Each structure stands twice: as C-alpha cells, then as structure tokens.
C-alpha cells in the first residue's frame, strides 16, 4: 500500500507495532526474572539449613566431651577413696578378720575400677568415632557450601548478564525503531518509501526480538531446573549419622 506524494502517515499506521503485546512480553520476562530470584533465595535458605545441622552436630560432640570429663573425674575420686581406704586399713587394723574384710573391699573396689575403666575406654572410642564423623560431616558441609556458593554466584552472574543483555537489546531495538520511524517520516513525504513495507519490516524486527528474549528466558529456566534437580539428587544420597548408644555406668 503506497502513500501519495506529500501525504504524511499517522504514527499508528507508520509504526505497525503492537505496543501492548510487546509490553506484555516484557512484563512476562520481568515476572520470570523475579521467579528466578525467589528460587535463588530458596537455595540460600537450604544452605543455611545445612550450616545449622553442622552446628547441632558440634553441640552434640561438646556434650559427649563433658560426659567423658565427668567420668574421668569420678574415676579419680574413686581411686582417691580406694587409696584412703587402704591407708586407713593398714594404719588402724591388724587383725586377721579386719584384713579379710579389707581384702574383700579391695576386690570389690578393684572390680568397680575395672568396670569404670572399661566404660571410660568405650566412651573414649566412641568419642574418637564421633570426632571422625563430625569432621567428615564438617568437611562435607564445607564442600557442599562452597559448591552451592559457586553455583549461586554463577546463577546470579547469569541472571545479571541476561538482564543486561536484555536491556541492551531493548535499547538497541528502541533506537532501531526510532531510526526506522524517522526514515519512514522522512521518505514517505518524498514518495520514496512504501509505508506498508516499512511497517512490515519494523513489525518483523520486533517479533524477532521478542522470540529471542523468550528463548533466552526458557534457556535460563532450564538451567535453574537442572541445578535444582542436581541439588535434590545430592541431598537424597547424604549419609545419616547413626544414633549413639547410651551405656549405663556401674554405680
């Protein structure tokens, strides 16, 4: 459809662009961008939860250390009582019956001492095992934290880079649209450019830009989904700490 010489087309006919459609596409892209930011916040929350679990393991290890220290103090107290008992027996009793009773007491205290030593050795072994488990969990959490931090930084960089690329493309498309609009206004008055041809070219350019943005948005969402799936798979294979068996001390 050609324009007669001297006739200046209106702005709507010259542009041939569905502005509302383009704005809707832009709003959709921004909503997807906000959704990606929310997914990133969820990943940060999972990382904080893992750190909290590590702190609970350290607290459990501290309780076990206190129990072991208390048992050692109690063992020292029993040894002191045994020493005082033996000194008192040797110092104040010399009769055979008293010696027999003292020997029986010594045997009884020796049995208790052996039991407590066995319990202390068992707790020491369990403490060493828990130390190894705690160290392994700590290393695993640190490795996982570093990996998630790296993936989070990569995701943030990707989102930032895609946002900047989209802004640059939008600015370039706006400048191109303005140039075409100026060219249409300039040449349509001279009878050298078909308004219909310019409008079709401009509309095709905008459609290509929108399709490009949609493809980039889809690629980014697929990347985030793959990252979440990888995190879920790794979480499903995490080793669980075995519950510690409580051993009652012989009184």
- pLDDT in tens for each of the 251 residues of the chain? 344 344 444 444 345 567 888 888 888 888 888 888 888 888 888 888 877 887 877 777 788 888 878 888 888 888 888 777 777 666 665 556 767 787 888 899 899 889 988 988 888 898 888 888 888 888 888 888 788 778 878 877 877 787 787 778 777 777 877 777 777 777 666 554 455 565 666 667 767 777 777 777 777 778 777 776 776 676 665 545 444 544 444 44
Domain that residue 94 falls in: 14-236
Residue 210 within any structural domain of the chain: yes
Give the count of domains, the chain: 1
Residue 165 within any structural domain of the chain: yes
Residue 142 within any structural domain of the chain: yes
Residue 129 within any structural domain of the chain: yes
Determine the Cα angle at 60 with ends 58 and 61, to 5°: 65
User: Distance (Å, rounded) from C-alpha 119 to C-alpha 245?
Assistant: 13
Q: 3-state class of 249 per DSSP?
A: coil
Q: 3-state class of 66 per DSSP?
A: helix
Residue 66 within any structural domain of the chain: yes
CB 109 within 8 A of CB 78: yes
User: Distance (Å, rounded) from C-alpha 146 to C-alpha 152?
Assistant: 10
Please report, for the chain, how many H helices and E strands are present, in that order: 4, 0
Please state the pTM of the whole predicted model. 0.30
Residue 249 within any structural domain of the chain: no
Residue 57 within any structural domain of the chain: yes
Residue 244 within any structural domain of the chain: no
């Amino acid at each position: 459809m050609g324009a007669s010489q001297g006739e200046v087309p209106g702005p709507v006919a010259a542009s041939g662009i569905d502005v509302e459609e383009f704005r809707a596409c832009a709003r959709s892209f921004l909503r997807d961008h906000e959704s990606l930011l929310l997914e990133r916040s969820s990943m940060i929350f999972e990382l904080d939860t893992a750190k909290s679990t590590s702190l609970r393991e350290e607290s459990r290890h501290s309780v076990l250390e206190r129990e072991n220290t208390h048992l050692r103090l109690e063992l020292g107290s029993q040894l002191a009582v045994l020493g005082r008992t033996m000194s008192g027996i040797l110092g104040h009793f010399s009769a055979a019956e008293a010696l027999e009773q003292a020997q029986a007491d010594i045997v009884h205290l020796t049995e208790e001492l052996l039991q407590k030593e066995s319990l202390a050795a068992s707790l020491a072994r369990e403490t060493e095992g828990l130390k190894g488990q705690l160290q392994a969990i700590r290393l695993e959490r640190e490795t996982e934290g570093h990996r998630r931090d790296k993936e989070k930084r990569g995701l943030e960089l990707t989102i930032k880079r895609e946002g900047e690329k989209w802004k640059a493309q939008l600015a370039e498309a706006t400048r191109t649209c303005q140039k075409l609009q100026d060219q249409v206004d300039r040449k349509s008055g001279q009878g050298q450019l078909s308004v219909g041809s310019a409008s079709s070219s401009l509309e095709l350019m905008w459609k290509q830009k929108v399709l490009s943005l949609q493809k980039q948005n889809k690629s980014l969402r697929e990347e985030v989904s793959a990252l979440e799936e990888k995190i879920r798979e790794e979480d499903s294979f995490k080793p669980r700490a075995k519950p510690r068996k409580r051993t009652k001390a012989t009184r």
